[in-house]
Structures are given as C-alpha cells and as structure tokens.
Copies of this chain bind each other. A is one copy, B any other.
Amino acid sequence: MADDDQVILLDFWASMFGLRVRIALAEKEIKYEYRNEDLKNKSDLLLKMNPVHKKIPVLIHNGKPVCESLIIVQYIDEVWKDRSPLMPFDPYERAQARFWADFIDKKVYMPTRRIRTTKGEEQEAAKKEVFEIFEILEGELGDKPYFQGEAFGFVDISLITFSCWFHTLETFGNFSMEVEFPKIIAWTKRCMQRESVAKSLPDPKKILELAMERRKELGLD
C-alpha cells in the first residue's frame, strides 16, 4: 500500500471490538485518523458508512468502509501483508484461528456484559457462563505462549481487548481472574509487553468508571 493511503477509524474508546482494529493497525505501523463516536448520538458518517449494522468500528480506507472487527483485522492483514503477519500461513492453522476468533466473538461478549449490567440470579448465571467459556479458552491456550503458538496473532487480538474489562468483571462479579484463570492472566501479561497492545488498551480504572456510570443509568446501584 502507498504511504499516502487515507485511513480513518470510527470507534469508541472503550470498545473491545474497536480495540482489535487499533491493535492490528499498531502491529502494522499504519498511520490513521482516530474518530471517537458518541454512541448515543452517532455521526452521519458512521450511519452512512455502516448503514446495515450502524455500529463501530468502521475502517474507512481511501473512502471505502470495512465493517465488523474480525473482518477488518483480516482485511488489514491482507492489505498490509508485507509486515507482522497476523493470520497463520497454513490453511488448516488459519481455519483454526478463525474458529477460535469466532468462538470468542460469539461467546465472550454477552455473558461478560451481563455480569456488569445485571444483579442477583441473572448475574450469577452470567458468571457461571463466563467461567465455562474461560475454562475452554484456558484449555485451548494450554502452555503455548500465544493462542496460535509462538507468535502473537489474530486470536490473541480477538481476546486481549477484553482484558482491560477484567478489573470491571472482577469488581462486579466478585472473583479474581488470576486465581480462576492463571494461564489467561499470564498470557495477558505477555501480550501487554507488546507496544501495540500496551499503548492501545485503556486504563482499566477508566473502564470501571464507565461501567459504573452505565450501571447507575440502568438503576442497578
């Protein structure tokens, strides 16, 4: 790609989906313009660029939009393919990477969201579900340094963006990720040694403040 490519990211600062794109762009050292959206009053540009889902993140590359975070990350990897490959080279390993990213996409968001937006029995059920999901993920990670093996990649990007929300989950769910899922936390620390991750992820305390505000709006506390 040419150096004068125009890249714009429509995003929301705390979004685990938008963060995936920010980490992929950082891995590839791509310069871009960041636009933080007010999700309660979405911009005309966002509605025009993602008329189907009307959601962030949207990557606008030379005027053309790409939507859905995992699709954007694959697009970035395919366009800027000369550096920091994110997808494995082998088709079978690539299918496995897509499988786990898809699993994370389908299974992690909703129950973790319910831990911070519900209480009582509903919250307990969500916590049980989160534990089951992370047990599966901890099993898949095993003793590998990263989900795809020796190198940081697509599956790591899919999951690591939830880690800045762990403090919030622990606070509302009353548990310790480190005690329950030591391998996931060791992997989180490993990922945080990468500049692309460390510089992209927001402060967990700011995430907690945001989650507390939302809980108040829901009349839960």
Contact = CB atoms under 8 A, between A and B. Distances in A.
A75 interface: yes
Contacts of A136: 52
Contacts of A66: 92, 95-96, 99
A98 B79 contact: no
A158 to B, nearest CB: 14
B78 A99 contact: no
Contacts of A67: 99
Contact of A71 (B61, B72, B78, B95): B95
Interface-centre pick from A61, A71, A103 (highest chain B CB count, 10 A): A71
Interface size class of A (residues with CB under 8 A): 20 to 34
Contacts of A52: 103, 136
A81 to B, nearest CB: 9
A136 B53 CA distance: 11
A133 to B, nearest CB: 10
List the number of copies, as a whole number.
Answer: 2
A79 B98 CA distance: 15
A52 B103 CA distance: 9
Contacts of A102: 68, 71
Nearest to A80: B91
Interface in A103-147: 103, 136
Given A75-B91, A78-B95, 13 more contacts: A52-B103, A64-B92, A66-B92, A66-B95, A67-B99, A68-B98, A68-B102, A71-B95, A71-B99, A72-B95, A75-B94, A75-B95, A78-B94
A74 interface: yes
Interface in A17-72: 52, 61, 64, 66-68, 71-72
Contacts of A74: 95, 98
Nearest to A59: B95
Q: Which 9 A-B pairs have the closest CB atoms?
A: A78-B91, A75-B95, A71-B98, A66-B95, A79-B91, A71-B95, A71-B99, A75-B91, A67-B99
A66 B64 CA distance: 32
